[in-house]
A = this chain, B = another copy of it.
Amino acid sequence: MESIVVYDSKPSLKDPIFIECLPGIGNVGKETGDFLAGSLKAKKFATIYSKNFPSQAILDNENIIDMTNNQLWYSKDVNGRDVIFLIGAFQCSTHEGQFELCREIMSILLDYKISEIITLGGYGTGQMVEAPRVFGAVTDLKIKKEYAGYGVEFPPGEPSAGIIGASGVFLGLGKIYSVPSICLMGETSGYFVDHKSAMAVVKILIKKLGVELDLKELIDKSEQIDEITAKIKEVENRNCNCRDLGYIG
């Protein structure tokens, strides 16, 4: 184990579901995960330090530092099931580092006998998205069928470039170690932190976990996204008209 893992506690968990919530396109994964872990009152139990993160100390507003890290949090008895979250503000910067670190974290998770892996991310479209869908990529047909029932869509072979980063690697490790796994990707322009896309993913996870959550915070932020989208569209339309007029005149 090349990482330094500092445990706050070693909780006893029963066949937990593992949810990877690291930052990425539109920060959908991180926003979704942070909201969910917060709503489910998750507790941090391990901090993972690695040479594969930027070698940097980060300050809070009291100038208390911590080294760049990823963290494992847990929630017990979420409608009868335990959940482990991978939370953090950083991903590794090299392919080798990404693979090695995820593999080390996976070995911790396998000790916890995780029963399912859900990795979270954004599906970047490069254009404004009014009603973001949630796309999926899976390790087997059974889990695909289950999530299709929750409304996840599976456009054949998409994303065609594959899935990179921790979302891709944990999905791959799920395949390798025979843990049913899915990557949930919220549709997003990718141009800003996309709470609306995150809310779409949260709604899938609510169905999966069978819990009720207060979405007010996300709804408020989503409405801000709607306003931004509306303004951008307005500007685009105006520009279009001008140009059209130009062609006529």
CB-defined contacts of A159 to chain B, threshold 8 Å: 59
A174–chain B nearest beta-carbon distance, Å? 9
Chain B residue with Cβ nearest A164? B56
Do B168 and A55 touch across chains, with their CB atoms under 8 A apart? yes
Looking at chain A's contact residues, the main secondary structure is mixed
CB-defined contacts of A164 to chain B, threshold 8 Å: 54-56
CB-defined contacts of A97 to chain B, threshold 8 Å: 96
CB-defined contacts of A1 to chain B, threshold 8 Å: none
Q: Which residue in B63, B93, B136, B165 is a CB contact (below 8 Å) of A138?
A: B63
**What would be 21 A-B contacts, judged by CB atoms less than 8 Å apart?**
A51-B100, A53-B95, A55-B95, A55-B98, A55-B99, A57-B162, A57-B168, A57-B171, A57-B183, A58-B162, A59-B163, A60-B157, A61-B157, A62-B154, A63-B137, A63-B158, A64-B140, A65-B163, A65-B175, A67-B173, A68-B172
Q: Which residue in B58, B64, B98 is a CB contact (below 8 Å) of A139?
A: B64
Do B62 and A144 touch across chains, with their CB atoms under 8 A apart? yes
- Interface: A28 (CB within 8 A): no
Per the bound structure, the CA–CA distance linking A175 and B18 in Å amounts to: 27
8 smallest beta-carbon distances between A and B, as pairs: A67-B172, A51-B99, A57-B168, A55-B98, A57-B163, A55-B95, A51-B96, A63-B154
